[in-house]
Amino acid sequence: MTIGFAIAFAVLTGLAVVGVARFLQQRQDFENATARSYQVEIAARTRLANGIQPAAARTVILGQQRKRQALRDDIGGETRDTALLVGAGLIAGLTGAALLFSGLIASMRRPLEELVEASGRLAAGDLNTRVKVGGLSETASLGAAFNEMAGELQRRAGERDQLETMKDEFVLTASHELRSPLTSVQGFAELLMLERDELSPKQADTVEIILDNTRHLVRLLNDLLDLARSDAGRLTIKPATIDVASLVEDPVRTMLSQTEAKGQSLTQEIAPGLPPLNVDRDRIRQVLVNLLTNAHEYCPAGASIHVTANNNAGGVELAVNDNGPGMAADQLDHIFERFTRGDAGLTQHVGGTGLGLAISKSLVELHGGGISAESVEGQGSTFRVWLPAVTGRGSNDAGVVGGYLVQPQEEAL
Amino acid sequence: MSTRVLIADDSETILLLLRTRLEMEGYEVITAADGVEVIEAINAGSAPDILLLDAMMPRKSGIDALRELRAAGVETPVLIVSAHQDEMDAGAATDVEVSGYITKPIDFEKLFSRIAELTA
C-alpha cells in the first residue's frame, strides 16, 4: 500500500513538474516569436521611412501587429491551461503526499502497537512473548531488540527456577538425612530417661537438656520441610468437615499444662451457632498451637491469653489475644516473614524456630483463609485467623492445593 | 507366647534402639537390614506377628518388600516407618495395603499402642 501511494505521489508530482517546464518552454517560444515579429516590423518601418514599397511595408507592419496580438491571445490561453495542469498536479501531489504519510504512520503504528501489547504480556509474566520482526527498519530493529530482551529474561528466569528447585530438593534430602541420626539421639536419650532412677540428678538434667534440644531440632526440621514443600507447591491439606469447638479445644488443652506452669491464664470463648468448617484438622491445630506457643513464650508469667471463635464475613474468625509485651509497628510489618521474631533480646528465652508464622500463613491461605496480626507495644497482641465456612464461599473443595485467597480482614480492631 | 516383631532398617543404631525398646516392652524381636533380609526371614519360617519396615532401604525398600509379601499371600500386619510425610504420601499412593505409618523420630508410646492394636 505504501509503495502504491509513493508511486502515485511520484507520478503526480512529476506531472506538476512537467507542467511547469511546459509553461516555461511556451513562454520562451512566445518571447522568441514576439522578438522575431518586432524585427520584421522594424525592418518594414525602415523600408517605409526610406519610401521603399510603402504600401507593402504598411501591410507587413499591420500583419506583424495582428500576429503579435494572436501570439498574446494564444499565450494567455496556454498559460491558463498550464496553470490548471500544474494546479491539478499539485493538488494530486499533496493528496498523494498526505496519503503516503498516513500510510507510513500506519506501517509504523502496527508494529509499535504490537510491541506495546507484547511488553504488557511480558510484564504480566509471559516470558514466551515475542514480536514479529518486520516493517520499517526502525520498527524492525526495535522488535529485534525486544525479542532479545525477552529471551534473556526467559533464560535468567529459567536459571532461577532451576536454582529454586535445587534448593527445595536439597532441603527435602537434608531433612530426610538428618532425621535418622536425630531419631537415634532422641531415642537413646529417652531410653536413658526411662532409667532415670539409676542416674544422678546431674546426669538426669543433662539428658533432659539433650532431649529438649533434640526436640527443638526436630521442630526446626519439620518447619524447614514445610517451607520447602510450600515453596515447591507441595504443601497439601486434607480437609474434612469439623466443628469449631473441637478444633479450638484440642490445642488449648494441649497448651494448658505449659501456661499453668508459667502462671499464665489460658481461656477460650466460642460463640454459639458457628458453622462447621472444612479444614485439615492437623494443620489448623498446628497453626493454633503455633499462635498459642508464641503467646505463651513471649508473655511474662501471670499474663492472660484468650482464644475466641466468632462468625465473621461468611466464615469463622479464630483470634488469639494476649496482654503481653506486644510489638512495635515495624516488627509487626514483618511478622509473617521467615526467621522473623519479636524483640531480638527475647529470643534467647524463646524456643521457636522463627518459621512458625510464615508456615501458619501458608497453611491458612491454603485453606482459602487469611491471617493477620495487631499489636500495641506494652499492651499485647492479637492474631486473627479467618477460615471460610463449608457453605457460602466454597473456595476449598476437598484436596485443593492452590487457591491462595487473601481475605479482606485487615480492619483494625 | 510373646508377640514377635520383625524390624527392618538399614541403620544399625536404629535397629538397636527399636530392639531395646521393644524387648523392654516384652516383645520378641527379629531384625533385618533391608527388604531382601525381610523376605529371607519370612521364607525361613520366622513367622512374625507384625512387621515394622523402614520405607527407604538399599537393595529392597520396605514398600517393595511389602508388595512382594502381599503378592505371595502373606497377610501379616505391616507398619511402615518413614522419615517424613512426603514418603508416607508416596507410600499411600501405591497399590499395597499398609496397616499404618510411623514417622521418625519415633514416638514410642504411639508405636507400642499401634502394635498392640494390630496384634490383638
Crossing angle of helices A281-298 and A244-261, rounded to 10°: 30
pLDDT band per the 50, 70, 90 thresholds, residue A3: low
pLDDT of residue B2 exceeding 90, the answer is no
- Residue whose C-alpha is closest to residue B62's, from B54, B72, B70: B54
The alpha-carbon radius of gyration of chain A (Å, integer) is 48
Q: Give the pairing type, strands B100-103 and B78-82.
A: parallel
- Residue whose C-alpha is closest to residue A356's, from A336, A372, A374, A375: A336
Q: Measured between alpha carbons, how far is A131 from A97 in angstroms, rounded to an integer?
A: 30
The per-residue pLDDT for A412 is 33
Identify all chain A residues contacting B89, using CB atoms and an 8 Å cutoff. 236
The torsion angles phi and psi of A237, rounded to 5 degrees, stand at -125, 150
* Residue A341: count of CB within 10 angstroms of its CB: 20
Residue recorded with cell 526446626: A220
Residue recorded with cell 522578438: A35
Does B24 contact A194 at a Cβ distance shorter than 8 Å? yes
Beta strands in A232-379, from DSSP E residues, in sequence order: 240-242, 265-270, 277-279, 304-312, 315-322, 370-376
Residue A20, SS3? helix
Nearest CA in chain B to A186: B105
User: A259-276 pLDDT, tens per residue?
Assistant: 998 999 999 999 998 888
A61: CB partners within 8 A, 6+ apart: A41, A44, A45, A48
Is there a contact between A34 and A70 (Cβ–Cβ < 8 Å)?
no
**Residue bearing the bigger pLDDT, A326 or A232:** A326
pLDDT of residue A19 exceeding 50, the answer is yes
Is there a contact between A90 and A16 (Cβ–Cβ < 8 Å)?
yes
Residues of chain A with pLDDT > 70, as a percent, come to 89
In Å, what is the CA distance from A292 to each residue of A23, A266, A356? 102, 9, 11
Q: Measured between alpha carbons, how far is B45 from B50 in angstroms, rounded to an integer?
A: 14
For chain A, say whether B89 makes contact (Cβ under 8 Å): yes
For chain A, say whether B104 makes contact (Cβ under 8 Å): yes
For chain A, say whether B33 makes contact (Cβ under 8 Å): no
- Residue whose C-alpha is closest to residue B10's, from B86, B101, B104, B74: B104
> C-alpha angle with apex A175: A174 to A181, nearest 5 degrees?
95
Strand order in the sheet with A304-312: A265-270, A304-312, A315-322, A380-388, A370-376
The per-residue pLDDT for B74 is 86
**Greatest C-alpha distance within chain A:** 170
Does A180 contact B104 at a Cβ distance shorter than 8 Å? yes
pLDDT of residue A138 exceeding 90, the answer is no
pLDDT average, residue stretch B101-119? 91
Q: By mean pLDDT, which of A110-124, A125-139, A393-407 is the weakest?
A: A393-407
The per-residue pLDDT for A136 is 75
pLDDT average, residue stretch A343-351? 50
Q: Å from A229 to nearest chain B CA?
A: 9
* ipTM given for this complex: 0.88
> C-alpha angle with apex A170: A166 to A171, nearest 5 degrees?
120
Q: Give the pairing type, strands A265-270 and A304-312.
A: parallel
Does B104 contact A184 at a Cβ distance shorter than 8 Å? no
**Residue A169 CA to its chain's centroid (Å):** 28
Is there a contact between A16 and A93 (Cβ–Cβ < 8 Å)?
yes
Does B108 contact A187 at a Cβ distance shorter than 8 Å? yes
The per-residue pLDDT for A385 is 94
Name the residue among A188, A214, A222 with its Cβ closest to that of B17.
Answer: A188
The per-residue pLDDT for B94 is 61
pLDDT average, residue stretch A28-53? 88
Is there a contact between A286 and A349 (Cβ–Cβ < 8 Å)?
no
Half-sphere exposure of A109 (CA within 13 A, CB side): 6
The torsion angles phi and psi of A156, rounded to 5 degrees, stand at -70, -40
* Residue A253: count of CB within 10 angstroms of its CB: 11
Is there a contact between A100 and A5 (Cβ–Cβ < 8 Å)?
yes
Q: Measured between alpha carbons, how far is A106 from A123 in angstroms, rounded to an integer?
A: 26
Q: Å from B14 to nearest chain A CA?
A: 6
Query: Which residues on adjacent β-strands are paired with residue A374?
Result: A382
Name the residue among B13, B104, B108 with its Cβ closest to that of A190.
Answer: B108
pLDDT of residue A232 exceeding 80, the answer is no
User: A47-73 pLDDT, tens per residue?
Assistant: 888 888 888 888 888 898 898 888 888
In Å, what is the CA distance from A91 to each residue of A79, A84, A99, A149, B23? 18, 10, 12, 46, 111
Cell of A98: 498526505
Residue A350, SS3? coil
For chain A, say whether B108 makes contact (Cβ under 8 Å): yes
User: A169-178 pLDDT, tens per residue?
Assistant: 888 788 778 8
